[in-house]
Amino acid sequence: MAHFISETNARLAAIGYSDGKAFGLPINQTDLSEITGLKAIHVTRVLRMLREERICAFRSSRVEIADLPRLEQIGQFDPTHLYLENRSTDPASPLGEQNSNG
């Protein structure tokens, strides 16, 4: 779960849809269960643990990250494995396509 949230944050940040601390994620716990391969009860427990330890919270289709380094550590996530560049994007673009004006 921590790896999925960290990776989603990194990918969305690369296209301008996350500020590194929060992003929209319009899915429910059943979807998270299917994505991560965990049973729904375990998804609930992990999300509660992350919230109680003030690492991140998933509320109303929004993820809020309070401690990104800790989240990445728990999920054993290394953003360099994604080969993403920090680039200027046009947030108005539905796919976050690179702005050709710069």
Quote the CA–CA distance of 67 and 72 in Å, as a whole number: 9
- Read off the pTM: 0.79
What mean pLDDT is predicted for residues 77-96?
Answer: 64
pLDDT at 85: 66
Q: Which two tokens stand for residue 14?
A: 């690369």
pLDDT at 89: 45
β-sheet with 62-65: strand ranges across: 22-24, 62-65, 56-59
Position 62 confidence tier, pLDDT thresholds 50, 70, 90: very high
Helices (H) and strands (E) in the chain, counts: 4, 3
Position 88 confidence tier, pLDDT thresholds 50, 70, 90: very low
